Amino acid sequence: MCASCNGETANGQANGTSSNGTNGTNGHDGFSAIRTSQNPHPSHKAPYAPVGDFLSNVSRFKIIESTLREGEQFANAYFDLEAKIKIARALDEFGVDYIELTSPAASEQSRRDCEAICKLGLKAKILTHVRCHLDDAKIAVETGVDGLDVVIGTSSYLREHSHGKDMTYIKNTALEVIEFVKSKGKEIRFSSEDSFRSDLVDLLSIYSAVDKVGVHRVGIADTVGCASPRQVYDLVRTLRGVVSCDIETHFHNDSGCAIANAYCALEAGATHIDTSVLGIGERNGITPLGGLMARMIVADRDYVLSKYNIKKLKEVEDLVADLVEVNVPFNNYITGFCAFTHKAGIHAKAILNNPSTYEIIDPKDFGMSRYVHFASRLTGWNAIKSRAEQLGLKMSDAQYKECTAKIKAIADVRKIALDDTDSIIRTYHHNLHSEEEKPLLPGLTAEEEKKFLEAEKELNGLKEKRQLDAAADAEAEIPDAKKTKTVTVA
Ligand SMILES: [Zn+2]
C-alpha cells in the first residue's frame, strides 16, 4: 500500500469531500454520466454517452450472482456451509437479484448446503445450476430453490468431446426438463454452453423451441472467454429477435472482455448478467460484481443507487478474498488501493478544485475515499499547499512553491513516504521562522545529501534563470501572448 493511502487522515480528502465542497451526496458537480431510470435514454449529457437504443437494458438489468456456483470452481475456493451462508447473506444485503448455487447433484453436501441456504429466507431468489438432465432436475426441485439454471454444451467441441449428444437429443431433453421444472412451479432458464463456438442455426433453433414452451430465460455463455463485445452485440441482438423470454448472459474473462461483453449484451437486449465477487471462477473467472457496478454506475447512476447497496461492495469483496485466500488486486475496480488516488501534479490540482475533472465515478457512492498523493517528484505545489493547510501551516504561495521544489529535489534523490513529506513541510515552515536551520530530512546518507544539494543548486539556478528571463521580457515589453506564440513556433 502506498504511504498516502493508509487512512482517511492521510490527506483529509476522505469520502469524496473535496476541498471546495463540490462533491456532496449527489455526486460530482458536472458529473457527466446519463441519469435516467428508463429506456430509451432521454438525455445525452456526455459526448461518450451510450447511443439510445430501444433494445437496451442498461437501465433495467438484473444480476445473477454466481460466487457460490462459478466461484466454487475457482482454484482456491473451498466453501463450507458456514462460509456459504456468510457469502449468501452478504450478497443479499448488497441486493443482488439472484444467488446461484452449485448443483445439488454434485455431492450430498452440496445438496444439504442448497437446502440450508433456501431456508435462510433471503430477499434474493435462489437458483441452482444443473445439467440439462431430468435426474438432476428432480434432485434440484426438491431443495426448495426458486429456480433452476439448466445448461448443456452445444458447440461441436463439447458435443464431440464432452457429452457426445446431437442437437435433436439436446432439444428433446431440454423440452422434457423444462416441462418438468415448470410443472413444479419453479423458474427455469435454459442455456447453451460455449455459445460463441456453436452453430448459429443450431442455437437459434433450440432457443426458439424452448421459448415456445415457456422457458423463463435463455442463456448465452462465453464459456471459454473468446467473444468480443461486437460479437456479443450481434448474437444477443439476433437472439432478441427470435425469443420473447428474458436473456441471461455469462462471460468468462480469458481475453479481458468480461465486463465489456456484459455491457454490450445489455445494450443489445440481454436482461440478466452473471457475476461473481472479484470475478472468481473457472480459470481466471467471469464478470466481476464490482467491475460491473463500476461500468453500470457510469451508465445509469440512479438505477444502480436505487437498486444495489453498493457501499457494501468492499465488505463483500473482503469477505470472499479472505475465504479464498487472495488479496484484492491493486488495480481492482472501485476497491483497489489506487482506484481513487491522484498523483501527478496537474491531476492533483484539478482534483482539489473539482473531482469530476479526473474521476468519472464518485468514490463516496461506494463508501470509498479519494486520495491525493503528494509524496513524490510528480507532486505539484497545489497539493503541497493543501497538505500544509491540513497540517495547520500557513505560508505564502511563493513559499509553498519553494517547499514543493525541495520536496521534488529530495524525491529525485530517494523514494519518500508520506511521513517524510510531512516532516519536510514542517521543517521548511520551522526554518522560515527560526534562526537555526534544521536539515529538511534527517537521516540522508552522505551520498544522498550530496545529490540533494546538487539538485537544489540546479533548482536555484533554474529559478534565477526564470527571474532573469522575466526581467528581460519585462524590459523588452513583449506581450505574454506573443511570447507563447514565439515559443510554440520555435
Ligand atoms: Zn462459467
pTM: 0.77
CA of residue 39 to ligand 1 center, whole Å: 29
Q: Could you write out the DSSP letters of every residue in 277-305?
A: GGG-SSTT-B-BHHHHHHHHHHH-HHHHH
* 246-251 and 147-153 strand pairing: unpaired
Q: H or E segment at 98? A: strand 98-101
Instruction: Return the amino acid letter for 478.
Output: I
**Residue 286: beta bridge partners?**
252
Neighbour-count burial for 271-310, b at 16+ CB within 10 Å, e otherwise: bbbbbbbbbbbbebbbbbbbbbbbbbbbbbbebbeebbeb
CA 69 vs. chain centroid, Å, equals: 21
**Residue 273: beta bridge partners?**
63, 249
Instruction: Return the amino acid letter for 162.
Output: S
Q: Are 302 and 42 in contact (CB under 8 A)?
A: no
- The arithmetic mean of pLDDT across residues 319-346, rounded, is 89
Instruction: Return the amino acid letter for 280.
Output: I
Point out the residues that are catalytic: 347
CA of residue 276 to ligand 1 center, whole Å: 10
Task: Please tell me the distance from the alpha carbon of residue 240 to that of residue 365, in angstroms, as a whole number.
Answer: 33
CA of residue 52 to ligand 1 center, whole Å: 30
Percentage with pLDDT > 90 across the chain: 58
- The arithmetic mean of pLDDT across residues 426-437, rounded, is 90
Q: What is the largest CA-CA distance in the chain?
A: 94
Please state which of the ranges 42-56, 144-158, 378-392 shows the lowest mean pLDDT.
42-56
In this structure, the number of other CB atoms found within 10 A of the CB of residue 139 comes to 18
Task: Please tell me the distance from the alpha carbon of residue 51 to that of residue 39, in angstroms, as a whole number.
Answer: 11
Task: Please tell me the distance from the alpha carbon of residue 388 to that of residue 257, in angstroms, as a whole number.
Answer: 43
Q: Residue 357 — pLDDT band, cuts 50, 70, 90? A: confident
Task: Please tell me the distance from the alpha carbon of residue 254 to that of residue 257, in angstroms, as a whole number.
Answer: 8
CA of residue 472 to ligand 1 center, whole Å: 69
In this structure, the number of other CB atoms found within 10 A of the CB of residue 328 comes to 18
CA of residue 254 to ligand 1 center, whole Å: 11
pLDDT tens figures, 72-124: 999 999 999 999 999 999 999 999 999 999 999 999 999 999 999 999 999 99
- The arithmetic mean of pLDDT across residues 152-172, rounded, is 79
Q: Residue 437 — pLDDT band, cuts 50, 70, 90? A: confident
Neighbour-count burial for 140-149, b at 16+ CB within 10 Å, e otherwise: bbebebebbb
CA of residue 126 to ligand 1 center, whole Å: 18
- Residues in contact with 380: Cβ distance below 8 Å, sequence separation at least 6, in sequence order: 344, 345, 346, 348, 349, 404
CA of residue 178 to ligand 1 center, whole Å: 21
Q: Are 366 and 360 in contact (CB under 8 A)?
A: no
2 backbone φψ class: left, alpha, beta (φ>0; ψ -120 to 50):
beta
Task: Please tell me the distance from the alpha carbon of residue 67 to that of residue 317, in angstroms, as a whole number.
Answer: 11
Locate 1 and state its grid cell.
Answer: 500500500
Instruction: Return the amino acid letter for 378.
Output: L
Indicate the angle between helix axes 397-413 and 418-432, nearest 10 degrees: 130
At 489 the pLDDT is 33
Q: Are 250 and 286 in contact (CB under 8 A)?
A: yes
3-state secondary structure of 187: strand
Give me the chain's average pLDDT, please: 84
CA of residue 262 to ligand 1 center, whole Å: 13
Q: Are 383 and 348 in contact (CB under 8 A)?
A: yes
Residue 336 has φ and ψ, to the nearest 5°, of -60, 150
Task: Please tell me the distance from the alpha carbon of residue 140 to that of residue 68, in angstroms, as a whole number.
Answer: 15
Residue 314 has φ and ψ, to the nearest 5°, of -60, -40
**Residue 127: beta bridge partners?**
100, 147
| Protein residues near ligand 1, an ion, with CB under 5 A | 70
3-state secondary structure of 252: strand
pLDDT tens figures, 226-281: 999 999 999 999 999 999 999 999 999 999 999 999 999 999 999 999 999 999 99
- Tell me which residue has cell 431433453: 173
pLDDT tens figures, 268-320: 999 999 999 999 999 999 999 999 999 999 999 999 999 999 999 999 999 99
CA of residue 340 to ligand 1 center, whole Å: 30
At 139 the pLDDT is 97
DSSP letter (8 states) at residue 74: S
At 48 the pLDDT is 58
Q: How far, CA to CA in Å, does 211 sit from each of 166, 179, 197? A: 20, 12, 21
pLDDT tens figures, 171-184: 999 999 999 999 99
Locate 19 and state its grid cell.
Answer: 476541498
At 2 the pLDDT is 38
CA of residue 366 to ligand 1 center, whole Å: 27
In this structure, the number of other CB atoms found within 10 A of the CB of residue 65 comes to 28
pLDDT at 463 over 80: no
- The arithmetic mean of pLDDT across residues 387-394, rounded, is 86
Locate 272 and state its grid cell.
Answer: 440478466
CA 165 vs. chain centroid, Å, equals: 39
Nearest to 387 by CA among 421, 341, 350: 421
Q: Residue 416 — pLDDT band, cuts 50, 70, 90? A: confident
Q: Are 92 and 114 in contact (CB under 8 A)?
A: no
**Choice between 170 and 69, residue whose per-residue pLDDT is larger:** 69
